[in-house]
Structure 1
Amino acid sequence: MSTHAPRPSYAAVLRVPHARRTFAAALVGRLSYGTVSLALMLSLTRSTGSYAVAGTVLAIFGATGVFLSPYRAALVDRHGPRRALLPMALLYAALLCALAAVCREPGTPAAVLAATAAFAGACTPPLGPTMRAVWAELLPGRAMLQLAYSLDGVAEELLFVSGPLLVGVVIGVAPPTVGIVLSAVLVAVGTLAFVTSPAAAVLRPAERAKDDSAPSGRGGAGQGRALLQPVAVAAGVGISVSAVDLLVVAFAGQRGLGGATVAWVLAALSAGSAVGGLLNGAIAWSSSARARLPFLAAGLGVCLVAAGLASGVGTLVVAVACAGLFVAPALTTAYLIADESAAPGFRIRAGAWCNTAVNAGSAAGAAAVGLLVERLPLPVCFAVSGAVAAAAALVPGRRRGRSLVWPGLLSRRPNRSRPSRSRPSRRSPSRRSPSRASGRP
């Protein structure tokens, strides 16, 4: 008779009480992030008649959303989802509606559009990091947490594919500003359902004293060093993946291929990421997350270098799909490390820093490759994008301290309903913590 417990499954994760309801609610809210960018770009273009103004306003919206993410996450850590996340989401939804209203008026000054977009982006609720924090509290062991994060990452990938498609359907029958309003409704309804779920109640507001103290390496520089590896890899993945989008367009342009070719190649990237994410969650890894992360980042880099050597569309599709196999696993593993490294009162922020790194890297990668592709041969551009991911793999992994490292894989996670300073080992083996590499608040 076998003494080994059966390997948990994705179905087992969703059978945990209240997990399906909470996860579904979070996905409804996060679908807003997949719809808002395209709807906003189309609305701004129609309102201003200028791609330059539309792009600038959209960049401001994204910048305030990305760089203020850790501060918004800190509010949720400190006050809990109901007191911080819900007001934030409702304010964000209201500002999106205001943005839709000003976009409906032709000739609205660019400064008004930019200010409204900046305020809206600043209020973007961190649904992704909060959902991952709920997974970490809700599930009993590291194996199930790995499955949950992989499922979360794949679902998010699908949201950022289906979101623009949904906007395309909407603008077929209504003005693009309706897409902005739809985004507002999605985030308000999804967040309300999320915070009222019994599972969200496991995230208790952190005591300020515990949040701000740094005994035994719990915060400050120790916390930052522990997060350096996952944040660096998340940024590297964001840079590399965003570069692929433009590089594929350039590849098709050089060979006189149409937009359908670009769509198929990028679909292969997303499909590879989804498959890789599911496989990553299902495998019972014997190595630690910190040991696996450099290999995942390096694998992405090698595949992108190979993509630059592709002689035709077929080989490019294969190379890009292989690169996708490493994307979701790398991000999922980074979130796992961030969670296991986080001190009490810092969990959502730890995941938000990885989100910020992905999104900032995505923006930087798009800008950088736009400059390089006009100056360097395409294979060299692919090699540079791969080298960024490979360089991130060289960042050393460092734990926050022995007190936070579990000596082995435990069959159950300790009860966290009453956090105590006397149990510093409570979170090492697991992980915790959001969005397709395109920005995932």
Structure 2
Amino acid sequence: MATTVSDRPGYGQLLRTPGAWTFLLPGFAARQPFAMLTISIVLLVQHTTGSYGSAGAVAAVSGVSMALFAPQTGRLADRFGQRAVLLPGVLVHAASVGVLTALALAHAPMWALFLAAVPTGASIPQVGPMVRARWAARLGAAPGRAASPLMTTAAAFESVTDEFTFVIGPVIATALCTGVHPAAGLVAEGVLTLVGGIVFAAQRGTQPAPQDAATSAAPHRSALSVPGVRVLAITFLGIGSVFGGMQVALTAFSEEIGRPGVNGVLYGVFAAGNMLAGIACGAIAWKSGPRRRLIIGYLALTVTASGLWAVHSVVLLAGLGLLVGLCIAPALISGYTLVDALVPASARTEAFTWLTGAVALGQAAAVTVAGQLADAHGASTGFLVPLGGTLLALATLLTLRSRLAPRAEGRTVARGIGHREQVTVD
């Protein structure tokens, strides 16, 4: 049952939600490795093969695998409970990371690395969507009651948490790979995933009720059957292209100028901008709806990304990267906020994983393309990938924005659940 809170959308009130800290702290630890995985794969495989294109391709296979399997993980978590899905998942992931690391160090052929990357990506624990589903279970709409105004604050808080992990995750992974051993980043990722995932799974009191317990008679339909979720998934591909393109292009840029250690700093500045914008978004009592904020945020993201390829100075690139980061959080937060108005409670985890999977898929494609461009034409061309991805996603969003309207009252949607109150979006 959702917790009753006042109408002031503040972080203090959000964090006083009963039971919140029991899943926030272990959830933060469990999602930290996700920010380390891609860059750790890129740095290890580039070290063993000497090619950013090959490194990006292996990381891309992992990302595509995650994008394909993450929604199924979310659907199973909705149906059987998060703990039942998370525990076996972290065990498989830790083992897969170990195999991938061993193969890379043994200079195994590329097909073997691709093969090992599949279960590595498929088993990435979907802790972020699970935490968001726990917030929604406590703050979301219930029969006869509208969703808490703290839902937007919770979405912003989760974006800030995600981006904080992306501030420190790549920096930690880069430091381990360059200062300790090329495989140290992947090893640390596997260990943190295993330990953090087990501790998070132990917090059974705050996980949403499994669907079978609450709606056992409802037909099992995917959250992707909701048109708005499909539009958001396509839109989030563009955000993934920014993350993936920036990771590879910044790494190649740092190598090109002979200062590989600056890579983590540049990416950290980019992610810090995202985090700062997320903090601001959660502290503001917005008068405009999330759909409008999503469009405005994406327009700003596209404009700022358009100048990355032309910058060749570390200071200027850091400044522009900061601006790009500032534009990501409003788009992410608005998209996640829309989920509560579009999707029934019994399919929220799956819906969140579709969005997370879309980011991973966009990141995987961007890592591959940016790696190939950087190898063939220099680091600067890798920055064209975020621009291309955001342009395509923005065009889709503007064309299909009407599908982001909330579900009509009484309409049967994903998983056969309807009869939700209509929520004003714009």
Which TM class, normalised by the smaller chain length? Answer: 0.7 to 0.9
1:25 alignment partner in structure 2:
26
In 2: Cα distance, 1:249 partner to 1:43 partner: 13
Note the alpha carbon deviations across 1:213-247, whole angstroms, 9 max, x for none: 69xxxx675x1x12133223212222245445566
| Per-residue CA distance 1:279-298 (angstroms, 9 max, x = gap) | 11111112221222111111
d(CA) in 2 for partners of 1:257 and 1:359? 29
Q: Answer with 272-281 or 319-328: which moved more.
A: 319-328
> 1:86 & 1:107 partners in 2: Cα distance?
31
Q: 2:218 aligns with which of 197, 204, 210?
A: 210
Find out whether 1:128 has 2:128 as its counterpart: yes
How many Å apart are 1:335 and its aligned residue?
1.4
The alpha-carbon distance between structure 1 residues 330 and 314, as it changes in their structure 2 partners (threshold 3 A), is: same
**Does structure 1 residue 387 correspond to structure 2 residue 387?**
no
Would the alpha carbon gap of residues 286 and 185 (structure 1) be closer, same or farther in structure 2, given more than 3 Å must change? same
Q: TM-score, normalized by length of structure 1?
A: 0.77
Aligned CA-pair RMSD: 3.9
Structure 1: unaligned runs, 5 residues or longer: 406-418, 431-441
Contact 1:142-1:429 at 8 Å conserved across structures? no
Cα offset, 1:338, TM superposition:
2.4
Matched ranges for 1:55-134 at <5 A:
55-103=56-104, 106=106, 108=108, 110-134=110-134
**Matches of 2:133 and 2:274 in 1, distance apart?**
22
- The answer for the alignment partner of 1:397 in structure 2 is 402
Q: 1:392 to 1:277 in 2, by over 3 A?
A: farther
2:187 equivalent among 181, 195, 214: 181
Give unpaired runs (5+ residues) of structure 2: 141-146
Q: Quick one: which of 229, 232, 238 aligns to 1:230?
A: 232
Q: Taking structure 1 as reference, are residues 100 and 384 closer, same or farther at Cα in structure 2, changes over 3 Å only? A: closer
Cross-structure match for 1:361: 362
Indicate the residue corresponding to 1:149 in structure 2: 155
CA shift at 1:261, angstroms?
Answer: 7.0
Helix, strand or coil at the partner of 1:136: helix
CA contact (8 A) 2:65 2:122 kept: yes
Task: Decide which of 196, 207, 210 is 1:201's aligned counterpart.
Answer: 207
Rg larger for: 1
**What is the deviation of 1:61?**
2.4
Alignment check: 8 A CA contact 2:90 2:125 kept: yes
Where do 1:411-430 residues align within 5 Å? Answer: 424-425=419-420, 428=423
Could you tell me how far 1:46 is from its partner in structure 2?
5.8
- Matched with 2:143 is none
* Cα distance between partner residues in 2 of 1:380 and 1:94: 34
1 CA distance for matches of 2:129 and 2:234? Answer: 17
Measured after TM superposition, the shift of residue 379 of structure 1 is 13
Distance 1:135 1:148 in 2: 7
Q: Is the CA contact (8 Å cut-off) linking 1:70 and 1:353 kept in structure 2?
A: yes
The 1:30–1:327 alpha-carbon spacing in structure 2 relative to 1, beyond 3 Å, is same
Q: Which amino acid aligns with 2:220?
A: D
**Aligned-partner residue type, residue 230 of structure 1:** L
Match of 1:300 in 2: 301
CA distance in 1: counterparts of 2:308 and 2:42, whole angstroms: 30
1:157: how far off?
1.3
Give the letter aligned to residue 339 of structure 2.
A
Q: Is the Cα contact below 8 Å between 1:309 and 1:379 reproduced in 2?
A: no
CA distance in 2 between counterparts of 1:50 and 1:307 reads: 23
